[in-house]
Structure 1
Amino acid sequence: MAGHPRTALAVALMVATTCGCTSGSPSGVKSGPSTVPQGAPAAGGAATTPSVLQAEAESTTGLSCEKPSEAVLDWAGVAIASHPGPIKASALVRAATTETGDWYVLALDREYERDDGTTTGEGDRNVALTNGVTGDPDDRKMIPLGRSEIGGVPSVSWDNVTWTGETLAAGKRAAERVVSCLDGGR
């Protein structure tokens, strides 16, 4: 029944709702699609694609919560949350596209681990700016923005970032959103 008008309409509606289009974009900042493009190469060279954690976020805030690839989490475990322990939650929100590439704000909760491998039930919440989700792995950066205890609101500082104007505002919105993603999208 491929030629049936209702089938064509259903297919058109499905494509329209899943295309990842966004309405509006801050001046000078490309908001991009609602899903993250191909992720950083994982061990062995295979690329991964983060999956959407909360599709509703795109329509209500313009910023969707994404799940970082294992390669990004492995790198973050060394770059921003280097103490031993399991990563309990993570999220990624696209911030902006600049002349240096696509930038995302990453947040993760990582528990502390004792020498015997047990966890303490406490840990850190880390927030960072990264361009390591897409593009050349040799040119990737991860800039720590802030930290707090798990469940807390990190004190985020943009002192190590040269963004200004709308790009900085977009980064700040992404940082606020990524923390709410860890807290269940509230």
Structure 2
Amino acid sequence: MRDRRWFVAGVALALLLAPSPAYAHLGHCTNAEAASTIAVSGLLAVVLFRPWKKVSTLSAKITRLALPAVLAIAVTATGCGGSKPSTPATGVIHPPSPVRIQITQPTPNQVTGPDVTLVVNLVGGMVVPAVQTTVTGNVPTDRGHIHVSLDGALVNMAFSTTQDLHGLKPGPHTLTAEFVAVDHLPFKNRPSAAVLFTVQ
């Protein structure tokens, strides 16, 4: 029984600590990933410590109730880097890029339906195909991809200047587009643009 619990714990921790695509590229987890991490780590804690099982001493009861919460918080903090973008997990930051990025659609304060087309304009740079994600030697500062975030959560790693977003919830939203290197890591000056719009 004890061996099985340690096996379950090891597998669950390995899954929780494996970086998500958002964490690997931006150094942070999306809200959905953070919520799923909390849920899985909480379930793991319950399986390991079985707080419903009767114990004789008060200290044992407190331990059985407190340890699941501590484990869930610790695993979540380790698996996610927070809600703000930061330096990627590799610690690599590319030199500044001369590229300027502009969002031409949607326009600021535009009222849209639940389906929105994002159109960006790159000045001094170009988007490369999805197959070009590795480089040898110096990373070109005028070629790369576009990372699209909605309300701070990464929703797409775009390989064109036009992206369709579907099923957006009613209310105000902020779209952010960041030009990143061909290996998906950021440039030092982080060329980006944002637009606020409202879905009816």
Q: Into which bin does the TM-score normalised by the smaller protein fall? A: under 0.3
Q: TM-score, normalised by structure 2?
A: 0.26
Kindly name which structure, 1 or 2, has the bigger radius of gyration based on alpha carbons. Answer: 2
More helix by share: 2
Higher relative contact order (CA 8 A, sep 6+): 2
